[in-house]
Structure 1
Amino acid sequence: MGEAGRQRAVRAADAGRRQRMTRIAIAGTGNIARIHAESLRALADPVELVAAADIEPERVREFCAAHGVPRAYPDLSSMLAEARPDLVHLCTPPGGHHAQALECLRAGASVLVEKPPTRGLRELEELAAAQGASGPWLATVFQHRFGSGAARLTGAMRDGALGRPLLAICHTTWFRDQSYFDVPWRGRWDTEGGGPTMGHGIHQLDLLTAVLGDWVEVSAHARRQARRTQTEDLSLAHVSFANGAVASVVNSVVSPREESYLRFDFERATVELTHLYGYGDDDWRVTPVPGFEQSVAEAWEAGPSGRASGHGAQFAEVVRCLRAGVAPPVGTDGALRTMRLVAGVYASAFEGRSVRCAELGPDSPFYERMDGSGARWAW
């Protein structure tokens, strides 16, 4: 089903909504789970938060007490069997996502998984194949697609007001000290799947691909400049897109002045976004080419406003889609395009050559793991 058809189905379901609220459970009750619970409680369209699971008994009990969750479980399996949720929010470390999501899908529960959805492309394609035609489905938390600024940008592009995309900049320059990586599962290929290219810059990379579409080729470098990790602590890449646009990408966790920055240069305007972990309308800036001021301004103002890029914006759309009986955004197709770009950055960096998207199939060592046959660091 295309986007227009999905939206029609959602609107139809809104008009004749079932009385039963969507039953949601949370697996993993660390810090990101708190954001999930608070965002779910704040939804205008109420949901029923029925259960939470965690292997740490005290942590899950405290979480349930703090967020009014009625039932705590010591593991995912017992929660699925007894609570029977419609949707499970996976807030566990990345190393467990594949097996946990597969268990949820096989139990008939749809899944909303935190980024990265899996450690590699094979795992994500297996989850795509495990979905049903009419559910259950898997979606990934890529909330930056859902702020009103992103909707304004894609709407103005679709209407032709900006002209062709020519150049993009996608920089995630963040800072994490060594103690951040001393958590046992961080900075490791087998548990986290990658470094800042995979775990930090992936949000900006996803918005980049959501705007510019399919990518064709990438040339990249990755380094360990300052952190004691198995993975990189920064990467740089040049990316070519099918529509002719090119992009410069930086992912870093060694940058003391933190910033998330995206810039799109079109034929008729530059559109910029500067923020850190989430944006609002005021974080966008549009600079028209002389002579196109009015048409660009009108197209930009015609879009929606007032919606920040927080988790709640995506959660609301996921719930609406599930109630309409259609696949929620961002599904496996969208997540795979972004994950293939992540894999392409690593493949290019470690093999010392440009890599085309079409190369990243089952025959590639980077299909299974993001470090392929092993990281080859270029000091």
Structure 2
Amino acid sequence: MPARIHRTAIVGTGAIANAHASAVRAAGERARLVAVVDLDLGRARAFAAEHGVPRKYPNLTEQLAHEDVDLVHLCTPPGQHAPLAIECLDAGVTVLVEKPPARSLAEMDELVAAERRSSAQVATVFQHRFGAAAVRLRALTEAGQLGRPLLATCATLWYRDDDYFAVPWRGSWDSEGGGPTMGHGIHQFDLLLSVLGPWREVRALAARQARAVSTEDVSMALVTFACGAVATVVNSVLSPRETSSLRFDYEHATVEVEHLYGYTDEDWTVTPARGHEDALARWPHGKPSSPSSHESQVVAVLDALDRGDPPPVTSADARNTMEFIAALYASAFTGQPVQCGEITPESPFYQRMDGTGAPWAVVAR
């Protein structure tokens, strides 16, 4: 029997909630899904019936008042993430929130402040950090076993048609906080940041090429890191051949992954530099390993809770990724490079990711 059974609730029953329910179920006796919340009680009942959840609630406030839970999974649209996460923290309940955790740095800092005054913690779903290959790569990078990281490329090239954006909250700065930079590519470049460490400067562009949305539908960035590495980051929802790819060029090897929505070890390749064939030995093949998935992150969260540690990905980790996004938009919309730490509360890009306004939002007079 586990030392502790974590009572959990899911808020929001959209498609991603099924991944959370499956992850809780896969945790076996370590976690139990005891409640589901949705403004549409019909949807809540259907979800509860499908996943064997005993109780349904129409809102988080009622659930927190009547249900003793250890962990809340937030699976609502982005505009509700920070307010609902803060409500959980104020109730002393740890929360695992889907990306993005907030729509702006201002909201993110409100979330951080709520965590500081709470006995509970907040973690953000960035499941690509938790596949065995990513864990291995971070360890090899930190130990310097592949040599210095020199160059990286990060591309999230996905396709979302007009019907996808017909959902009212999609494609809006107010409800989503941004376009593919906030809602799609964020997983890939969060993994990039977790491997290469602190970023130093961003030079970027963003454009609305084809979709009838308020946000961008493509963005690109050149990034420099404190470790000396340089990288390109591309985020798109206009690409018919969909792929998610990362490439890291170290002194002694190139490490690459190409997948779509989640990777296994088989999706990674290592190419050693001439004279450094021993790099392959540091990257074991043929052994079963965990893929990137909600299941992997939920296990890591439960492990942390059992130890009494903050669950990964911490608010500090998530804020770093959110600051990168704010810097990308600020550079794209002002035409200037943006340094880490430059987006302060005085900046318009602190309050909103579109800051001074997207260029395509300016109406010609």
Q: TM-score band, normalised by the shorter chain?
A: over 0.9
Partner of 1:285: 269
Q: Is the 8 A contact 1:222 1:378 kept in 2?
A: no
Which of 213, 231, 236 is residue 220 of structure 2 equivalent to? 236
**Distance apart, 1:302 and its partner CA:** 9.3
Q: How far, CA to CA, are the matches of 2:140 and 2:307 in structure 1?
A: 28
> C-alpha root-mean-square deviation of aligned residues, in Å?
1.8
> Kindly tell me: are residues 56 and 281 of structure 1, through their superposed partners in 2, closer, same or farther at Cα, counting changes over 3 Å?
same
2: CA distance, partners of 1:355 / 1:228: 28
Q: Please give the alpha-carbon distance, in whole angstroms, between the structure 1 residues aligned to 2:239 and 2:164.
A: 14
**1:310 and 2:327 matched:** no
**TM-score under structure 2 length normalisation:** 0.96
**Partner residue of 2:344 out of 347, 361, 378:** 361
1:343 to 1:235, Cα distance in 2 relative to 1, 3 A: same
Q: Which has the higher contact order (CA 8 A, sep 6+)?
A: 1
Q: How does 1:7-22 map to 2 (within 5 A)?
A: 18=3, 20-22=4-6
Cα distance, 1:157 vs structure 2: 1.4
Measured against aligned partners, the alpha-carbon deviations of 1:229-282 in whole angstroms (never above 9, x if no partner) come to 000000011001111101011000000000001000000000001000000000
Equivalent residue number for residue 121 of structure 1 = 105
Alignment of 1:75-94 (within 5 A): 75-94=59-78
Contact 1:45–1:316 (CA under 8 A) maintained in structure 2: no
Q: What is residue 24 of structure 2 aligned with on the other side?
A: 40
| Residues 89-104 of structure 1 aligned to structure 2 (within 5 Å) | 89-104=73-88
User: What does residue 325 of structure 1 align with?
Assistant: 308
2:54 is aligned, of 70, 82, 90, to 70
1:297 aligns to 2:280 (yes or no): yes
CA offset at residue 301 of structure 1? Answer: 2.1
CA distance, structure 2, for counterparts of residue 368 and residue 304 of structure 1: 47
Residue 207, structure 1, aligned to residue 220, structure 2? no
Name the residue aligned to 1:5. Answer: none
Paired residue type of 1:359: E
* Counterpart-to-counterpart distance in 2, 1:348 and 1:378: 17
The whole-number CA distance in structure 2 between the counterparts of 1:285 and 1:317 is 25
Q: Structure 1 runs of 4+ off > 3 angstroms? A: 132-135, 302-305
SS in 1 for 2:232: strand
Change (3 A) 1:255 1:45: same
What displacement does 1:305 show?
5.0
Identity of counterpart residues, as a percentage? 57
Contact 1:94–1:191 at 8 Å: present in 2 too? yes
Shift of 1:358: 1.7
Q: Is the 8 A contact 1:151 1:303 kept in 2?
A: no
SS at match of 2:359: coil
Q: Aligned to 2:257, what secondary structure does the other structure show?
A: strand
C-alpha contact (below 8 Å) 2:218/2:235 kept by paired residues: yes
Separation in structure 2 between the aligned mates of residue 45 and residue 308 of structure 1, nearest angstrom = 21
Which residue matches 2:114? Answer: 130
Q: Which moved more, 1:314-323 or 1:198-207?
A: 314-323
For residue 355 of structure 1, what is the amino acid of its counterpart? V
Q: CA deviation at 1:357?
A: 1.4
CA distance in structure 1 between the partners assigned to 2:150 and 2:28 by the alignment: 39
TM-superposed deviation, 1:17: 5.9
**1:103–1:43: structure 2 CA closer, same or farther, 3 Å change rule?**
same
1:263 aligns to 2:247 (yes or no):
yes
Where structure 2 has 5 or more consecutive residues not aligned to the other structure, the ranges are none
The verdict on how the C-alpha distance between 1:183 and 1:378 changes in structure 2, with shifts beyond 3 A counting, is closer
**Do 2:2 and 2:29's aligned partners in 1 also have CA atoms closer than 8 Å?**
no
Q: 1:172 — aligned with what? A: 156
